[in-house]
Amino acid sequence: MKAIVYHEYGSPDVLKLEEVQKPTPADNQLLIKVQAVSINRSDWEGLVGKPLYARMGGLLKPKDRILGSDIAGTVEAVGKDVKKFKLGDEVFGLMLNYGGGFAEYACKSEKALALKPAGMTFEAAAAIPQAAFIALQGIREKGQVMPGQKVLINGAGGGTGVFAIQLAKLAGAEVTGVDNAEKLDFMRSLGADHVIDYAKNDFTKNGQQYDLILDVIASRSVFACRRALNTNGRYFMAGGSVATMFQSLLIGPWIRRNTGKNIKLLVVQTESKDLVYMTELIESGKVKLVIDKRYPLSETAEALRYLGEGRAKGKVVITVAQN
C-alpha cells in the first residue's frame, strides 16, 4: 500500500510517499481502508519531535513511521475478537498513540471507533475524533460548564477550539477565545463573545478572571493562569509546553490546597460514545464542523506545513481514497 512515511524528526520535507507492507489486523483489530484522515497538532508535534513528550516512542528517531490519528474508512477485515463491527461498515475514530492513518490501510482496535452516519462524508467524519474528545471532555465532562460562567479557551482558533467554543456557548457560557490576529474573526464566527490576539495581549494580565480555562497550547505558566482563575475556577491543560505540564502535575495540587483553584492536566478518555454524541450535535446543526482545506495523500507534507505554519482555520483533511 502507499503511505506517507518519515524516518527522522524534522520539517514536512522529511515526509515521503512510499510503498510499504499492508498491515495485518491482530485478533482484536479491524483492517480499515482509509478514505480520509484529518491532521491534528499532535501530528505536527510527532513530526518535529516537540514538545519532548512527542518523542515518547523514540527519543532520537520516531518509532512509528506513519503519522495520522483521525481516520474514516471502510472495514475490509476483522480479527476474531472484534464484536461491534463487520466487513463493509463505514467507521471513523482515533488512533492516538501509534498513528498510522496517513496510509491507504490502517489497523485499529474497536476502542474509540464508531459507525459513520450514512449522511456524513468520510472527510467530515475524519475531522471529528481528536478535537471532539478534547473539547467534549474539557468543556462538558470535566469542565462541567454552567450557564453564565466565564470560559476562556487558549488556542481557540485551532482544531479543538472550533468545537470547544461552540460547546461552551451551547452550555450558556460567556466565551473568550485566544489565538493569533488572523483567527479573531473566525473565532467570533463560531460564537466567541470576546477574542484576544495572543501576540498583543496576555490573558493572564488583563485583570479578567474565568471559571474555566481550557488550554490547548499552554503558553503561560500555571502561576500566571492561577491569576486568571476565579476562586474555585478550573484550568485544564490539554496540550502544549512540557514546563507547564510538569507545573500542573507538581504545583497544581499545592495551588488547589492553598487557593481552591483547580489546575490539572486533561487526559482524554477515548470512548466511542463521545464520537456518537458529537456526530449527533453536528447532524442536528447545533455544532458546525469547519473543514478549511482538503489535500490528496501525496500532498500530506503540504497539508502539515499549512497547519504547522498556523494558517489553518478549522480542520485540514487528507482525502486518501478517491471514490
Which residues contact ligand NAP by CB under 6 A? 40-42, 45, 96, 130-131, 134, 154-155, 157-161, 178-180, 183, 198, 216-217, 219, 238-240, 266-268, 310
Nearest to 140 by CA among 292, 271, 259: 271
| Cell 465532562 belongs to residue | 141
User: What are the C-alpha distances in Å from 77 to residues 31, 126, 133, 281, 298?
Assistant: 5, 20, 26, 30, 25
Contacts (Cβ under 8 Å, ≥6 apart) of 122: 35, 36, 72, 73, 90, 92, 116, 319
| CB 203 to ligand NAP: min, Å | 8
| CB 316 to ligand NAP: min, Å | 9
**100 or 157: CB nearest ligand NAP:** 157
- Hey, what's the cell of 191? 460564537
Omega cis (within 30) before 12: no
| CB 133 to ligand NAP: min, Å | 7
**Distance in angstroms (rounded) separating the CA atoms of residues 14 and 79:** 33
CB-nearest residue to ligand NAP: 158
**51 or 79: CB nearest ligand NAP:** 51
**22 or 98: CB nearest ligand NAP:** 98
User: CA angle, corner 219, sides to 270 and 178, nearest 5?
Assistant: 80
| CB 14 to ligand NAP: min, Å | 19
| CB 112 to ligand NAP: min, Å | 11
| CB 233 to ligand NAP: min, Å | 19
E-state strands within the chain: 2-5, 16-19, 29-39, 70-78, 90-94, 105-109, 113-115, 150-154, 174-179, 194-197, 210-215, 229-237, 262-265, 291-296, 315-319
**82 or 312: CB nearest ligand NAP:** 312
Contacts (Cβ under 8 Å, ≥6 apart) of 60: none
**148 or 310: CB nearest ligand NAP:** 310
**68 or 161: CB nearest ligand NAP:** 161
* Helix 300-308 / helix 41-48 crossing angle, nearest 10 deg: 100
| CB 16 to ligand NAP: min, Å | 23
**31 or 287: CB nearest ligand NAP:** 287
- Hey, what's the cell of 255? 495551588
Helix (H/G/I), strand (E/B), else coil: 170 = helix
**35 or 154: CB nearest ligand NAP:** 154
| CB 118 to ligand NAP: min, Å | 27
